[in-house]
Structure formats: structure tokens, C-alpha cells
Amino acid sequence: MASTAEPGRADAPSRAAQHFVFLLVEDHTHLTLACATEPLRIANLIRGEPLYSWSYASEDGVSATASNGSVTLVQHRFDALPKCDRLFVIPGLGMTAHITPALLGCLRRARTTGARVGALCSGAWILAEAGFLDGMKAAIHWDYHDEFAERFPEVALVRSVFVADERHITASGGTATADLMLHLIEQDHGYDLSVAVSDMMVYAGAREGSADQRVSLQARNGMRNPHVARAIALMRGALEEPVSPMVIAQALGISVRQLERLFGRYFNTSPKRYYMELRLERARNLLLQTEMSVSEVAFASGFQSVGHFTRLYRRAYGTPPSAQRGRIA
């Protein structure tokens, strides 16, 4: 391993191994767990010394089951954690059903002992529930954005892959976790080691924290039109209080006619119709993910009339909003 140990050695001196503890919530995302630990393992392998160590905790102190059925044996209970440098909570889908007093108490105790507490995937929800993220930027998987913004308006939610410049680090899950770990490795041991770990993972697409979680509009549609991208960004930023195509066109410095031609070219629809679909998509997310009433969902999606909202929703999804809650289809 002497030849592979060279990358990173000139960037940073050796230091004591950092210990990470991962709190595994039931039904956690296995991909996130793998992306959290493998970069640390590879960093140790490349450097030929223990730069990082890690262990797992669950509520019963025996095991934790991921959403794909994989069972991970753990070393600690939530109420008996070892001293650590960093602690990350890893939940998955349906994490609200697993937010227990033991979990919240564990996080609060860890913070008071000086551990740097962070969250991966949907874990920002749990930190927000514990009151850790008030006034801070945070990242969470894009599927939870609408629900999270409604539930925790005091948190500055961002759509980037991770946030590493706050007291509590958050990442949006999946491969965004690998991006975060590579960022931490670079901070701790230098750029060269981070790149060597990325190469060993055959991961050429490591992203900065500010990268957007979802594939960009341009990449998804094979286009590079800045007016369309900016128009949709303006729409997404004003779902609760919609603005007219005229206002959007004025903000872009183009005519309404030109805006309509662009949307017709790239989406075969009008700006007004596209905007309506965005608002209905938000409404559907809120119905499926929250306990908000139909009228609350309507107003949060920019509809002033519940009756009008109901008609449009039924036309779009084949069911009234009152019957949508809890359905996955």
C-alpha cells in the first residue's frame, strides 16, 4: 500500500483518529449508511493508518433494520453512547413514526458533551424536531421539502446536496452523503486524499455542497435556455402567492409572447399551465406527507378557493384531494 498511501500525505499531517457514531433509526436508508462509512474506510486504506473509526447505535442496542430489509448489528444503545467526535442520525422514509424520546434525548446529550451532531437523508427533520436547526440552513431529501418548509418555517431550508458551514451539518441522503464525507476528508486531511478516495470509489462526480439535489432543468430537458430556467425558479419561489406570466416576463426582460413561445417549445404547454402543475404537485406532496386540512393545503399552494382547487386537483390526479391523503398512487 506504500504507493497508494502517497495521495494526501503532503496536504495534512497525521492526527488522532476521529470517531464517528451513526444513530440508525428503524427503516433507515441503507444507501445513505454505505455512502457515509465507505469513504472513511477507503481513506484509512489509502493512508495506511486509522484516520477514522466508527460505530453504530440503535434504540435497543442490538440491531437496526434498513428499509431494504438489511439488518445491521450495532455496538451501542441510544442511552449509552461512547464519546465521539461526530454523530450523525440516519433515518429514512416514515422517520416521523420513529422519533422517540430515547432518540431525542440521545441527540441532546451528545450535543451537551461536545459531539458535532449532524443528520443525513431525512435526518434534518429529527434535528429540527429537537430544536437544533432554528435559524440555520439545512438540507433534507427533496421529497420532504414541501412538508418540512410548512412544519419548520424557522429553519432556512436549502435545495443543495449538503450544508457543512453550520453548527449542525446536514446532507440530503444517498450519494449526497458521499459528497459530504469527501468534503470532510478534504477538510481534515487535504484535497489530494479526498480525490484519491473519490477515485477509489470510481466516483468522478463529487459535488460541492451548493449543488442542487435534483438533475438540473437544463440537463433533464437537453436545453440551455436561461430564460426558461429562471422562469421556473421564479415560479417555484412563489407557489403560495403566484405571480402572473406578465410579472415573470418582466422580471426576465422579455415579452409575455416570447415566454409563451419558450414554454411551448420546451414543454408543449403554456407558462400558466406549467405553473399550475407545479402548484398541484406541491398540494399533492402536502396531502400525502402532512396532516394539513384540504383548505390549508389549497391556500399553501396558492389557491384562494377550495372548490376551484378541488376541481383542478380531481382533473389532474383523478381523485379529489379529500380522498388523496395516505394514497401512494
Residues β-bridged to residue 157: 138
**pLDDT score recorded for residue 85:** 94
**What pLDDT is attached to residue 247?**
96
Residue ranges per domain, the chain? 18-200, 217-324
Tracing cell 431529501 back to the chain, one arrives at 141
HEC string for the chain: CCCCCCCCCCCCCCCCCEEEEEEECCCECHHHHHHHHHHHHHHHHHHCCCCEEEEEEECCCCEEEECCCCEEECCEECCCCCCCCEEEEECCCCHHHHCCHHHHHHHHHHHHCCCEEEEECCHHHHHHHCCCCCCCEEECCHHHHHHHHHHCCCCEEECECEECCCCCCEECCCHHHHHHHHHHHHHHHCHHHHHHHHHHCCCCCCCCCCCECCCCHHHHHCCCCHHHHHHHHHHHCCCCCCCCHHHHHHHHCCCHHHHHHHHHHHHCCCHHHHHHHHHHHHHHHHHHHCCCCHHHHHHHCCCCCHHHHHHHHHHHHCCCHHHHCCCCC
CATH architecture of 217-324: Orthogonal Bundle (1.10)
The CATH-assigned architecture of domain 18-200 is 3-Layer(aba) Sandwich (3.40)
Which pLDDT belongs to residue 260? 94
pLDDT one digit per residue (tens) for the chain, 329 residues: 333 333 333 344 446 799 999 999 999 999 999 999 999 999 999 999 999 999 999 999 999 999 999 999 999 999 999 999 999 999 998 888 999 999 999 999 999 988 999 999 999 999 999 999 999 999 998 888 888 988 999 999 888 889 998 999 999 988 899 999 999 999 999 988 998 998 899 876 666 665 555 655 554 554 568 899 899 989 989 999 999 999 999 999 999 999 999 998 888 889 999 999 999 988 988 887 778 899 999 999 999 999 999 999 988 888 899 887 644 33
Residue 37: predicted pLDDT: 97
The reported pLDDT for the residue numbered 221 is 57
- Please tell me the distance from the alpha carbon of residue 140 to that of residue 136, in angstroms, as a whole number: 13
Q: What is the model's pTM?
A: 0.68
User: What was the pLDDT predicted at 4?
Assistant: 32
Could you give the CA distance from residue 79 to residue 141 in angstroms, rounded to a whole number?
Answer: 27
Return the pLDDT at 3. Answer: 31
Residue 19, pLDDT score: 96
